[in-house]
Amino acid sequence: MTLASPATRPQELDVSRIDPAALRVLQRLQEYGHQAFLVGGCVRDLLMGRTPKDFDLVTSASSRQVRALFPQSVGFGGQRFLVVQVRTEGGKSLEVASFKARRSADVSGPDAQVIPDDVLAELPQELGTLEEDARTRDFTVNALYCNGASGKVVDPVGQGLSDLQANLLRIVGEPEAYLRDDPGGMLRGARFATRMGMAFERRTAEAMKQMRGELARCSRKRVLSEVLRGLGTGTGAPFFRLLSSQGWLPLLVPPVARHLEGGPEVERRFFAHLEAVDRSLQENPRIDELTLACALLLPVAAPPAGGPPAPEAMGAVLEELVQGAPELQALPRHGQHLIATLHGVLKAPEAVPADNPLLPGARRLAALLG
């Protein structure tokens, strides 16, 4: 795929590259008098010449109004967000959010779930304007909107298009205030920067450096989710180099930080391993979180003489990573089972039962070991 260079990126979207189902949802909302836009990553990626993974929509309509307009839809949300998932032809689902009036704080809560209509009808919802919604976004390049039919891109913050042209990642508003409310934004920013080849804008970079200690306030579940998402993009090596250069690794993945203290040769081998993981993911991006976590930790848990780690060693490293996250307490045990299956694959692959659900992941890890 050829990406548009910053100097040649368009200011409007090619409508033919927008999901037709998303265009139909936008049109229906607009026909009923509501403002409705594509927003965020899909607009950014289309302007960069990338193919979006998802098309997210935002509207001036309330969630109850959206639900009423689309019979094949359901309310969905958790502690920090509320959307309506609209089912379209072919079983695809599009998420439609309402304009926010203010940012949501990074708070722990139950996992997102379907919201019954009677509950949705009673939920309080503070609706914002387009301009207010733009100020709730994380980075200016994610605060770009497109109304669909014309392809026109709207930049309410006034810096998103210029930052995209300059390949800059800039926090919307005051970076210190944003990172204080949501320190996990640093990890999201690192993931965007490495995946899109962008640099942090000066004030954003300074704020991240000054406030790195705030990462300790993130839940372990959020930290591991963001770290694995960064690794799983196929740009894990530059992602971890950025985490290391920012001094974040001891707060995020202490076993990896200690491993890298082994010296230049240990560091070289670790990042060569991550580059092999990247190549594997670029060839086949489908991978489960357990296999991804174990792929990251193969060099960390391995014996000094090399080779695959013992199941108990991998379990111990995973045990440290999930401390403080009760919902992830099964991960070390599952990791031990996966590494035990890996040993079977390496020693006698024909003896591993074909119906072993861990077999695909073990084969993937075996390929990384060469």
83: pLDDT strictly greater than 90? no
- How many Cα atoms are found within 13 Å in the side-chain-facing hemisphere of 215? 27
Q: What is the mean pLDDT of residues 170-190?
A: 95
| Closest CA relative to residue 148, chosen from 33, 34, 14 | 14
CB contact at 8 A, 139 and 103: no
Query: How confident is the model over 145-167, as pLDDT tens digits?
Result: 999 888 999 999 999 999 999 99
Residue-level pLDDT at 2: 45
| Closest CA relative to residue 178, chosen from 207, 221, 147 | 207
Residue 8, both tokens: 């040649």
CB contact at 8 A, 198 and 168: yes
Give pTM, 2 decimals: 0.86
CB contact at 8 A, 359 and 341: yes
Beta bridge partners of 113: 77
Backbone angles phi, psi at 73, to 5 degrees: -150, 170
3: pLDDT strictly greater than 60? no
Nearest-angstrom CA–CA distance, 3 and 45: 9
Confidence of residue 127 (pLDDT cuts 50, 70, 90): confident
Averaged pLDDT of the chain: 91
- Percentage of the chain beyond pLDDT 90 is 78
CA distances from 4 to 9, 146, 167, 306 (A): 6, 18, 11, 43
Nearest-angstrom CA–CA distance, 87 and 104: 26
CB contact at 8 A, 47 and 144: yes
**Spatial CB neighbours of 290, under 8 Å, sequence gap ≥ 6:** 331, 334, 335, 338, 361
Pick the residue with more confidence: 228 or 9?
228
The CATH topology of domain 6-166 is Beta Polymerase; domain 2 (3.30.460)
Q: Does residue 134 sit in helix, strand or coil?
A: helix
Residue whose entry in the numeric block shows the structure tokens 């994380």: 138
Query: How confident is the model over 228-250, as pLDDT tens digits?
Result: 999 999 999 999 999 999 999 99
Ranges of beta strands (E only) in the chain are 36-39, 57-59, 73-77, 82-87, 93-98, 113-115, 145-146, 153-154, 168-169, 199-200
The domain ranges of the chain are: 6-166
Residue 175, both tokens: 């970076």
Q: Does residue 370 sit in helix, strand or coil?
A: coil
Nearest-angstrom CA–CA distance, 154 and 160: 9
Confidence of residue 125 (pLDDT cuts 50, 70, 90): confident
Residue-level pLDDT at 4: 55
Residue-level pLDDT at 259: 97
Confidence of residue 275 (pLDDT cuts 50, 70, 90): very high
